[in-house]
Amino acid sequence: MMMGEVLAGRYRLERELGRGGMATVFLATDLRLSRPVALKRMHPGGGTGRAERFRREAELAASLHHPNVLEVHDYGEDGAHGPFLVCEWVRGEDLRSLAGRLSPVPPEAVMVLGWELARALAAAHARGIVHRDVKPDNVLVAEGGPLKLADFGLAALEDQERLTSTGAVTGSLPYMAPERIDTGAYSPASDVYAVGVILFELCSGTTPHAGKGAAHLAASVMTKDAPSLTEVVPGTPEPLASLVARCLAKDARDRPRDGAVLALALEALLQRGVGPPADVAREFLGNPVAGAIRWRRARFERLLEEGRALLARGEGARAAKVLNTALVLEPTSAEVAALLRERPRRSGWRTGAVGAGLVLCAAAVVWSGGTLARRSGGMAGGAASSGVEVASATARSSEDLAADRVKSARRAVEDPAAVRTHQGVEGAKTSRGAESSSGKASPEAAPVEGSSIGELLHAPTPTGQVLPAPRTELRRLDASRGLGRLARSGADDPVQPSVSRGRSEGIDSAKLAVSSLPTGHSAGAGSTGAARPPVPTTGPDVGTTVPARPAVLKVTARPWAEVFVNGESQGYTPRVRELSLPAGTYRLRFVNPLCDEVDQEVTLAPGETVTRDVVLSLRKAEVLILAPVGARLFVDGREVGVAPLSGPVVVEHGRHTVTARRAGAPPLLREVDVVAGRRLEVALDVTP
């Protein structure tokens, strides 16, 4: 098509504005009214379905009259170039371009833009129209305002198309609601989900489920919750983040019901936090860049103050995240850079104090255990010995305590689990080379032959020997050495329990050691040197039967299906994704009333993960056409015979156009929605 060409004797093409998969948009001049317009011309080809969709866009958009909806002026067909649509021309840019200029977009601007968009959808939803393709590229922002929603090419009337439709799903995947990806179903809440994605993208610069490829994205949208905006973009107002999270709910029932409800929610946020919505929107859209700079500066000051407060409370990690967000707003800020270099004021003291406190608590447990053991054994030197132990534990230099605190803090940060392990079992270890009250190193205490683990954990310190000071180098328990050395059955036939390092079959070795201690056991006999039989160590390698781990069955079904296992319903996909089942063989059935049922059998081994991805086949529908005798009958432009037909016409589930043509008479046409597995009777009336 050449520039300067005139369509339908009225619209002169000036220049191309953009090109999409279905149509090309031109800037044109309306010669009759002497005004610029946007002319959207459909690409040739594509069949009657595309032409019908193009015509439907014109009808639906023309039925809406709202400041935030792009106005349709005309629809026509040119003999040489086919159908075209004439709309008002918006001098401005689309929302994606504006967001790029304003990035990072302040939350106040996000609320304004979202409010204007929600108002456009409220007007459409009030007439039963669902847009189905809300995305930044279809949102136009005029110079000086307002914002306008365009491109109703995928829009549909709710009362003309069933919400359970599972036909071909069209739209832009990152902005499609889970129910649309799964079954093709849509409702006003599907448009609300798309607005939620746009709001999230305006705030963060990315969509909530951005992933590697379409399959990953679709799976993430259907199975995962969107990340919290307050985590992705620190400083985002909590009310805004909460509203966006509601819009992005996987279940449509948990979202704002339609555009009107969403508009009211955004209006309340603006009124409470910024000002009267209409006034704020008018001022911002009059000069978006200046408004964004003003709001961005105010937000920078808030983030700076929040970062200072977090540093003062010793929350260094959170402070760094907040301050890095502030640095994005003001990349050259020397003040932020200085705060980022500043260490938290009290976090090191707190962590060190906690670590030292844990170690001293462990020492107290060991000390009290040894004292109780000596008292029960009637040792004469018990009282004197306990006095020496207290002195040994407390008379430590400030340098030693400081070193201990640093080491404890480091271990607590790097591996908190090791701290817990140390608390439970450190008392069971005997320190090598511990200093006595005389300042000389005492030999390592040897384990008593035949002693149980419980006896050795509470064994008394030999008379005159100093209890070692608590050690602060927190280490994980080496189960194979510690327990193996402690549990012996006798000098002649030493048997060590087979305990693996770390975890064995999900059982923690440190917990295993503690659980092996006999309850109510007194260690007093240990002081007499009498040998006792060892306490059997319970564990997976010592004769204890460990329950078999359940198997995991992962199920997906397209479209949705009710999942039955051995005849019992487990729920519906995509809500049902994983089933934990004992090992065995199961009968699976996937049921969707519009599809043929699928039966499968699966055998699961203990601990095994099995995936079943099922695609259900839609049942065919039937259309019984009643038309004037001799009329040629068409379904979606395909001739199916001459009336009267001998039987119904088999078609796919969804919407179809049925036409009857007679010579010398206007065609009779009806659009119908048919449901899989059912028969629909269509009567084409005869005009008298």
| Residue-wise pLDDT tens digits, 293-307 | 999 899 899 889 999
The whole-chain average pLDDT of the chain stands at 74
Burial label for 629, CB within 10 Å (0-12, 13-18, 19+), is exposed
pLDDT of the residue at 561: 84
Strand partners, 554: 578, 611
pLDDT of the residue at 416: 47
- Mean pLDDT for the stretch of residues 122-134: 91
Mean pLDDT check: name the lowest of 134-138, 170-174, 380-384.
Answer: 380-384
Q: Which residue has the higher pLDDT, 509 or 215?
A: 215
92-286 topology per CATH: Transferase(Phosphotransferase); domain 1 (1.10.510)
Q: Which residue has the higher pLDDT, 18 or 364?
A: 18
pLDDT of the residue at 128: 87
Q: Answer yes or no: is pLDDT of 76 > 50.
A: yes
Burial label for 203, CB within 10 Å (0-12, 13-18, 19+), is buried
Q: Answer yes or no: is pLDDT of 11 > 90.
A: yes
pLDDT of the residue at 438: 40
Which one of the listed residues 133, 191, 258, 508 is annotated catalytic? 133
Provide the token pair at 498: 């087979």
Confidence of residue 118 (pLDDT cuts 50, 70, 90): very high
pLDDT of the residue at 4: 82
**Percent of the chain topping pLDDT 90:** 36
pLDDT of the residue at 595: 85
- Mean pLDDT for the stretch of residues 1-22: 84
Number of Cβ within 10 Å of residue 301's Cβ equals: 13
CB 528 within 8 A of CB 460: no
Sign of CA dihedral 535, 540, 541, 543: positive
CA dist 605 → 347, 602, 609 (Å): 49, 10, 8
Confidence of residue 345 (pLDDT cuts 50, 70, 90): low
Q: Answer yes or no: is pLDDT of 383 > 50.
A: no
**Percent of the chain topping pLDDT 70:** 65
Q: Answer yes or no: is pLDDT of 385 > 60.
A: no
- Mean pLDDT for the stretch of residues 230-240: 90
Number of Cβ within 10 Å of residue 59's Cβ equals: 13
pLDDT of the residue at 602: 93
- Mean pLDDT for the stretch of residues 219-232: 89
Delimit the domains of the chain by residue range: 6-88, 92-286, 297-345, 365-438+445-528, 551-615, 621-683
Confidence of residue 647 (pLDDT cuts 50, 70, 90): very high
CB 584 within 8 A of CB 602: no
CA 583/CA 652 separation, integer angstroms: 41
The CATH architecture that domain 551-615 belongs to is Sandwich (2.60)
CA 255/CA 194 separation, integer angstroms: 11
pLDDT of the residue at 320: 86
pLDDT in tens, 246-272: 999 999 999 999 999 999 999 999 999
Number of H helices, E strands in the chain: 20, 27
Q: Answer yes or no: is pLDDT of 511 > 80.
A: no
pLDDT of the residue at 172: 82
pLDDT of the residue at 110: 97
pLDDT winner (highest mean) among 366-380, 395-409, 590-604: 590-604
CB 112 within 8 A of CB 281: yes
Q: Which residue has the higher pLDDT, 204 or 488?
A: 204
Confidence of residue 657 (pLDDT cuts 50, 70, 90): confident
pLDDT of the residue at 507: 37
pLDDT of the residue at 512: 34
pLDDT of the residue at 498: 39
Provide the token pair at 322: 């907040």
Confidence of residue 88 (pLDDT cuts 50, 70, 90): very high
User: DSSP letters of 42-78?
Assistant: EPS-SHHHHHHHHHHHHHHHHT---TTBPPEEEEEEE
- Mean pLDDT for the stretch of residues 135-144: 94
CATH for the stretch 6-88? 3.30.200.20
Confidence of residue 220 (pLDDT cuts 50, 70, 90): confident
- Taking the whole predicted model, whether its pTM rises above 0.85 is answered as no
- Mean pLDDT for the stretch of residues 527-556: 59
- Quote the strand ranges of 567-663, DSSP E: 568-572, 578-581, 584-591, 598-604, 609-615, 621-626, 632-635, 638-642, 649-651, 654-661
Q: Is there a catalytic annotation at residue 133?
A: yes
Mean pLDDT check: name the lowest of 15-19, 64-68, 319-323, 349-353.
Answer: 349-353
pLDDT of the residue at 609: 92
pLDDT in tens, 51-62: 777 777 778 788
